[in-house]
Amino acid sequence: MNRYIAAAVCLLLLSAPGCSTSHKVEVAPVEVKPIHITIDVNVRVDKALDDFFSDIDDAPAQPEATNAQ
């Protein structure tokens, strides 16, 4: 019976290091590079407005009505 207890204790002691965990975290320096983005929205909006109002721009100028009294 003592042999079984001694064997159980040995197995317990041998398996204990397998249950331990360790972590090593290395933090490398982070390099941030500038990002250049150019967006030209005004040209697209102007062109869209020109296309939308082209019928008004092409219409002949009408004389303004005057209120004669």
15: containing domain: 1-58
Pair of tokens at residue 68: 């004669």
More confident residue, 52 or 64: 52
| Domain-embedded: residue 16 | yes
Sequence-distant (≥ 6) Cβ neighbours of residue 57 within 8 angstroms: 50
> Could you report the per-residue pLDDT of 1-56, keeping only the tens digit for each?
788 888 888 877 777 666 667 788 888 888 889 998 887 666 676 777 777 777 77
Tell me: pLDDT of 69 over 60.
no
Task: Please give the Cα distance from 9 to 15 (Å, whole number).
Answer: 10
Amino acid identity, position 15: S
- Give residue 34's pLDDT: 92
Split into its structural domains, the chain has a count of 1
Cα R_g (the chain), whole angstroms: 42
